[in-house]
Amino acid sequence: MELLRDRPEPRPPLPLLVTGVAGVAGYAAFRHFQRLYPGQVIGTRRVDNWRLQGEGIVGVDVDDHHGFAELFRRHRFAAVLNCEGSCALKACELDPPSAWRVNVFSVENLLEQLDGRGRLVHLSIDLVFSGLGDGGHRETDPTDPVTVYGRTMAQAESLVLQHSNACLLRISLPMGVSFNGHAGAIDWIQSRFKKDKPATLYFDEVRTPTYCDCLNRVFAEVLANDLRGLFHAGGPRRLSLFQIAQIVNRVGGYDPDLLQGCPRIDAGPMPPRAGDVSMDSSLLADALAATPFDPWPVDPRWLPTDDRWHYRREGHTGSEQLLREQLYLNPDCGKSRE
């Protein structure tokens, strides 16, 4: 099967709205499409997130019905890539109404503006599963989230699937840069190590991370075609959170003693932790007739072999530059980037 990134990238319907540009996936997608189609891509962020500014970025809150209606009236969007969502697990547990407002009501608001017209690609998450089984979840598996975040995202999924021209993609951990330097998985782990602070990650929470470079290519393809329904969009490599932290530690050249690991049962009850929520994305590959994702990390040199792997540097002196080149960006993507 050919690689999706080897095909010419199709043009999505324009103008395009990308919501939730404060998140890693939304930020990467907005920059990608804005670079390709300047003046035809709008991104939204919360009004109080004033630090996130730039050409095409609009401050509008998810519960501002009038604000979204005016945005749609002004731009007449042909497509929406909905990356909006509150993913802070503890904050969602402590304030379920706020989680519902951001993760569910925002979808209701968007669907009302679209009113059955226009293309919608909506991002959900692997944490709609509890991960109590052996992972490798397929689209037919029932959802059973253990967190408020997962439950609200599952509720939003049911709304999206009623839209006649919608494609729903469940992603895992998007690996890419964030506008504020602490919105993503790599960001948080790296921020601890950079400050010489310990980071504790779980041996038994398993995800299927993806490069944002690959996700952007999938978004373009799905926006441009008529694919409908639910598809998993996780990478081909299963990694525990501890293994992900090992990779960040070694590639970044940080002190290996700063990394600590434990089973998630030792993390305490707040917030609840999922287990193996890895996803099987073969249905998406079949629908696109191409391999959509490279493994993260793409270079097998950075794949942990045991729990002490990050201690063995073997002549490789890591650095923040190497981390950016290998973990934030896909070195095999073959595209110029900012």
Residue 246: predicted pLDDT: 98
Residue 247: name the closest of 183, 215, 201 by CA: 201
Residue 193 has pLDDT above 80, yes or no: yes
Percentage of the chain beyond pLDDT 90 is: 82
Q: If pLDDT is split at 50, 70 and 90, which confidence band does 334 have?
A: low
pLDDT digits (tens, 9 = 90+) for 80-126: 999 998 888 989 999 999 999 999 999 999 999 988 788 999 999 99
Report all structural domains of the chain as residue ranges with CATH numbers, in order of start.
Answer: 4-328 (3.40.50.720)
Residue 50 has pLDDT above 80, yes or no: no
Residue 278 has pLDDT above 70, yes or no: yes
pTM above 0.85, yes or no: yes
Residue 187: predicted pLDDT: 92
Residue 337: predicted pLDDT: 41
pLDDT digits (tens, 9 = 90+) for 220-270: 999 999 999 999 999 999 999 999 999 999 999 999 999 999 999 988 778
322 and 252 in contact (C-beta within 8 Å)? yes
Please enumerate, as own/partner, the contacts of 95-101 that have beta carbons within 8 Å and a separation of 24 or more.
96/148, 96/152, 99/148, 99/149, 99/152, 100/152, 100/155, 101/62, 101/63
Query: Which of 85-89, 211-215, 275-279 comes out lowest in average pLDDT?
Result: 85-89
Residue 313 has pLDDT above 90, yes or no: no
- Spatial separation of the C-alpha atoms in residues 90 and 315, rounded to whole Å: 40
Percentage of the chain beyond pLDDT 70 is: 98
Residue 247: predicted pLDDT: 98
Scored b (16 or more CB within 10 A) or e, 60-94 reads bbbebeebbeebbeebebbbbbbbbbbbebeebbe
